[in-house]
A = this chain, B = another copy of it.
Amino acid sequence: MQVQTVTIREATENDLEAIIALFADDPLGGHGDTNDPQALPDYRAAFRKIATSPNETLFVAERDGEVVGTFQTMVTTTLTARGASALIIEAVQTRADMRGRGIGAAMIGFAVEKARESGMRLVQLTSNAVRTDAHRFYERLGFSPSHIGFKMKLK
């Protein structure tokens, strides 16, 4: 039961390069992420924005002292549903050689539990339409594919 050895904790700036490596290794994302040291200042600036945002939190999954996964949460309040709050999960990534070991389930489960404890109405996320494995994963965890996620790239 290797999943039991996974720790989910808030990321620190010391985790930054390990987290970037997870995104740089993603063949499907197509977000242009890279371990190139020249890009590090951009990532560092983004890390600090997230760290100082009251609504956003960046997490890592750690196993045997190594970062093996990451995700980010954002709390949002809308007037709909009588002014309910929801938790949005973004930028979920598990290290390629660590898939199928329950790390993703541990990360998402952690986020859902946090939302439940805070009395939120909803947890939501979007997943690229081509990631059919991820879709099965989210449905297994109790998510419903009830919406279409529309994106417009500006650059």
Which residues of A line the B interface, CB within 8 A? 16, 19-20, 23, 29, 31-34, 39, 42-47, 49-50, 53-56, 58, 70, 72, 74, 76-85, 88, 90-91, 112, 115-116, 119-129, 135, 138-139, 141-155
Q: A121 touching B155 by the CB < 8 A rule?
A: yes
The answer on a CB contact under 8 Å between A148 and B126 is yes
How many copies make up the complex? Answer: 2
Q: List 12 A-B contacts (CB under 8 A).
A: A42-B83, A46-B82, A47-B79, A58-B79, A78-B90, A112-B154, A123-B152, A124-B126, A127-B148, A141-B152, A145-B148, A148-B149
Residue among A47, A54, A81, A128 with most chain B CB within 10 A: A81
Provide the bound-state CA to CA distance between A79 and B42, in Å.
9
Residues on B with beta carbons closer than 8 Å to the beta carbon of A54? 53-55
- Contacting residue for A45 out of B55, B83, B152, CB 8 A: B83
A29 neighbours in B (Cβ, 8 Å): 80
Q: How far is the CB of A49 from chain B (nearest CB, A)?
A: 5
Q: Contacts A144-B150, A147-B149 given: A79-B122 contact, CB under 8 Å?
A: no
Q: Which of B125, B142, B152 contacts A112 (CB 8 A)?
A: B152
- Considering the chains assembled together, what is the distance between the CA atoms of A125 and B155 in angstroms? 17
